[in-house]
């Protein structure tokens, strides 16, 4: 009789062990998420940050007389510059004001092609 009780207890213990879920590995669950975040950072965020820093550096170095182009495609020479506004001379006597953030960059090579 004791043998049957021991056998029944052993069988129920095995069923309980089989029904309980196995403990999951802590970091292994989050490893794919961490890998995706790292890839997102290096493929998207970091290059965008570098580009923004280069653009900010270029805008801070602008001075009167520089030939620039705007993001809308206007070529001109800087006639005046303030903290937020740049006055461009697009033709002799034709001046326009644009926001400093809309300057696309220096246009030395583009300007030479436009003069031809």
Whether the Cβ atoms of residue 69 and residue 110 lie closer than 8 Å to each other: yes
Does the pTM exceed 0.85? no
Give all strands of the β-sheet with 103-106 in edge-to-edge order. Answer: 94-99, 85-91, 75-81, 67-70, 103-106
Per-residue pLDDT of the chain (116 residues; tens, 9 = 90+): 665 555 566 655 565 555 555 555 677 888 899 999 999 999 999 999 999 999 999 899 999 999 999 999 999 999 999 999 999 999 999 999 999 999 998 888 675 666 66
pLDDT of residue 100: 93
Percent helix, strand and coil across the chain, each to the nearest 5: 55, 25, 20
pLDDT of residue 53: 94
pLDDT of residue 1: 61
Name the maximum alpha-carbon separation found in the chain.
Answer: 113
Whether the Cβ atoms of residue 80 and residue 96 lie closer than 8 Å to each other: no
């Amino acid at each position: 009789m004791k043998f049957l009780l021991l056998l029944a207890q052993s069988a129920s213990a095995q069923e309980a062990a089989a029904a309980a879920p196995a403990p999951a590995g802590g970091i292994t669950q989050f490893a794919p998420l961490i890998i995706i975040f790292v890839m997102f950072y290096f493929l998207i965020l970091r290059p965008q940050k570098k580009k923004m820093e280069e653009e900010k550096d270029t805008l801070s170095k602008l001075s009167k007389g520089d030939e620039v182009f705007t993001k809308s495609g206007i070529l001109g020479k800087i006639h005046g510059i303030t903290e937020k506004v740049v006055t461009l001379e697009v033709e002799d006597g034709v001046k326009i004001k644009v926001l400093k953030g809309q300057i696309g960059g220096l246009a030395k090579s583009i300007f030479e092609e436009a003069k031809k």
